[in-house]
Chains A and B, each alone.
Chain A
């Protein structure tokens, strides 16, 4: 197992390089003239010249590439063009909010989704299963920001139960502010997690050892949880990784609706203000996040599945 884990950790390095290279290509090469793309068609030549000088765009491409990679590795993203604050402190201020939101949403999503999936699987082809099918279809079709806006209108604007924006202070204040945005993301992800639970549980319940357990006279609840759900955990752990990343992508729009700070709102605001160093940092942070979650999922996979753990 140790060897497997080590090789996974080492594998992150080339992946990170590849991701950084893709970011470089997307930000410096694809737009043709990055200065023009960043400042917009209305920028005058003097502004463009200052921008090129500041961002090192006059250097040859290979030098730009190495500077870019070097800065990224040291997490040195330069200073904001708008506020002149170091971008790394902006990132440090916004990152925790996105992490809290994502984790809270995925936990709520699991709490709602897994029982729904178990219910649908045990009630297969009965009304409860049909109802769940409709729930998961709608959960796929509703965009995050739409559900966010509807919940905001109903519960904050009309009923006044929840605040309209911000993150609040203290534990209870924070919880009060995070509940609605987290619930938005969680409801939609619960459809996916529930569907996954249903599918993998149904597959496991068809296996021989489940039949044996039933033949032995084990009670249905024990069959479902001991023999069924525990073995259905494996595909579910991959599903959690996918949901974390899907929640992360949804958080961008949800942060905007609820006017919460976070990596997403930082990125979107930077795009509107044409704050190039912040955009670059935001894109990179999201990319790092993806690589990290994938690594974590591989590690979890090893821990959950004894067959991989015992191999070495």
Chain B
């Protein structure tokens, strides 16, 4: 092409380029940047979570004592240079137990929302995509389970199953699944009407491929938002279950059962209750701040 023709020939393309410049699709890195550094409160929350993850990963290195080691000579010591948060009724170092307890919270905070997202999204997509009797059965189940608050559902399932690591994972996953399923179903119903899905159906693409290629990627945003918000809930619910004695079983430390032990010993020392509760509160607060930011960036429609 000669240079004189180029401007006219290039015009539509230029316009297209301009439009793309107006509404750029942010890349993954940029989206994460947007989420984490949008507001001062989110920056603080990000630092808190980074610290929390570092503490959980490095627990064996930074914990001053073995969280399980009991000592008759060190019972109910007040905070000191040797034991920053004092010791409990078994002479265990409270700070070390809090540090190791973070591992527990981190695992459940990551694992259960992820598993629930997988289970719930599958159920919701199947219900929304196929409709009919499948949808009726799944929707009825979701509605019934959604009537229960997640915490109550978790307590009831834990009551039936008993507490062990995998049981808690199951409990939290089941408690969160209906929420994911409901969101996934609603989004699938909307996406199914989109021209690209109709085009795929018309051109004979096989159903599983349509679901994986066209439906799931387009309903992911609200699912990711729910996952971040629920990782805060997962940590809080695990703590509650452990406090009730149906979550993480002693002597393994969890922030919930540290408070439980502390309550039985509150006349002697209150440090375990105060510090365990602060740990839960700070981490849950930080994750929910990040969750709000994720929601504002990924899913502006539902944010108020």
Contact B284 A141 (CB under 8 A): yes
- In the complex, which residues of chain A have a beta carbon less than 8 angstroms from the beta carbon of B280? 141, 143, 146
Minimum C-beta distance from A49 to chain B (A): 20
A253 to B247, CA, bound (A): 13
Contact A249 B285 (CB under 8 A): no
Contact B244 A146 (CB under 8 A): no
Which of these, A19, A31, A142, A291, contacts B161 with CB under 8 Å? A31
Task: Report A129-146 residues with CB < 8 Å from chain B CB.
Answer: 137-138, 140-146
With known contacts A19-B144, A37-B162, A137-B288, A145–B149 Cβ distance under 8 A: no
By beta carbon, the residue of chain B nearest A140 is B288
- In the complex, which residues of chain A have a beta carbon less than 8 angstroms from the beta carbon of B161? 26, 30-31, 37
- Does B151 sit at the interface, judged by CB under 8 A? yes
Contact B259 A249 (CB under 8 A): no
- In the complex, which residues of chain B have a beta carbon less than 8 angstroms from the beta carbon of A26? 156-157, 160-161
Contact B157 A149 (CB under 8 A): no
Contact B160 A149 (CB under 8 A): no
- In the complex, which residues of chain B have a beta carbon less than 8 angstroms from the beta carbon of A286? 152, 155-156
From A80-88, A168-176, A213-221, A267-275, give the one contacting chain B.
Answer: A267-275
- In the complex, which residues of chain B have a beta carbon less than 8 angstroms from the beta carbon of A253? 240, 243-244
By beta carbon, the residue of chain B nearest A25 is B160
Counting residue pairs across A and B whose Cβ atoms lie within 8 Å, the total is: 123
Minimum C-beta distance from B152 to chain A (A): 4
- In the complex, which residues of chain A have a beta carbon less than 8 angstroms from the beta carbon of B156? 23, 26, 283, 286-287
With known contacts A141-B284, A145-B243, A150–B273 Cβ distance under 8 A: yes
- Does A18 sit at the interface, judged by CB under 8 A? yes
- In the complex, which residues of chain A have a beta carbon less than 8 angstroms from the beta carbon of B288? 137, 140-141
- In the complex, which residues of chain B have a beta carbon less than 8 angstroms from the beta carbon of A150? 273-274, 277
Contact B270 A271 (CB under 8 A): no
- In the complex, which residues of chain B have a beta carbon less than 8 angstroms from the beta carbon of A300? none
- In the complex, which residues of chain A have a beta carbon less than 8 angstroms from the beta carbon of B284? 140-141, 143
- Does A290 sit at the interface, judged by CB under 8 A? yes
- Does A245 sit at the interface, judged by CB under 8 A? yes
- Does A27 sit at the interface, judged by CB under 8 A? yes
Classify the interface of chain B: helix, strand, loop or mixed. Answer: helix
Contact B277 A146 (CB under 8 A): yes
A272 to B256, CA, bound (A): 17
- In the complex, which residues of chain B have a beta carbon less than 8 angstroms from the beta carbon of A27? 160
| Residue interface mask B131-160, A partner, CB < 8 A = 1 | 000000000110011011101100111011
By beta carbon, the residue of chain B nearest A244 is B149
Contact B160 A30 (CB under 8 A): yes
A56 to B289, CA, bound (A): 50
- In the complex, which residues of chain B have a beta carbon less than 8 angstroms from the beta carbon of A145? 240, 243, 256, 259
Task: Report A11-51 residues with CB < 8 Å from chain B CB.
Answer: 15, 18-19, 22-23, 26-27, 30-31, 37
Contact B144 A18 (CB under 8 A): yes
A246 to B151, CA, bound (A): 8
Contact B246 A271 (CB under 8 A): yes
- In the complex, which residues of chain A have a beta carbon less than 8 angstroms from the beta carbon of B282? 141
A299 to B109, CA, bound (A): 37
Which of these, B144, B152, B276, B281, contacts A15 with CB under 8 Å? B144
By beta carbon, the residue of chain B nearest A256 is B244
Minimum C-beta distance from A240 to chain B (A): 14
By beta carbon, the residue of chain A nearest B152 is A249
- In the complex, which residues of chain A have a beta carbon less than 8 angstroms from the beta carbon of B168? none
- Does B266 sit at the interface, judged by CB under 8 A? yes
Which of these, B149, B159, B277, contacts A267 with CB under 8 Å? B159
Which of these, B236, B256, B281, B304, contacts A199 with CB under 8 Å? B304
Contact B157 A249 (CB under 8 A): no
By beta carbon, the residue of chain A nearest B241 is A253
The 10 A-B residue pairs whose C-beta atoms are closest, nearest first, are A146-B277, A249-B152, A141-B285, A26-B160, A141-B284, A249-B151, A27-B160, A249-B149, A149-B273, A141-B281
Q: What are 9 A-B residue pairs whose CB atoms fall within 8 Å in the complex?
A: A141-B282, A141-B285, A141-B288, A143-B243, A149-B262, A153-B266, A271-B159, A271-B245, A286-B156
Taking A142-B281, A283-B159, A294-B147 as known contacts, 5 extra A-B pairs with beta carbons closer than 8 A to each other, sorted by chain A number, are: A137-B288, A141-B281, A146-B276, A256-B243, A268-B245
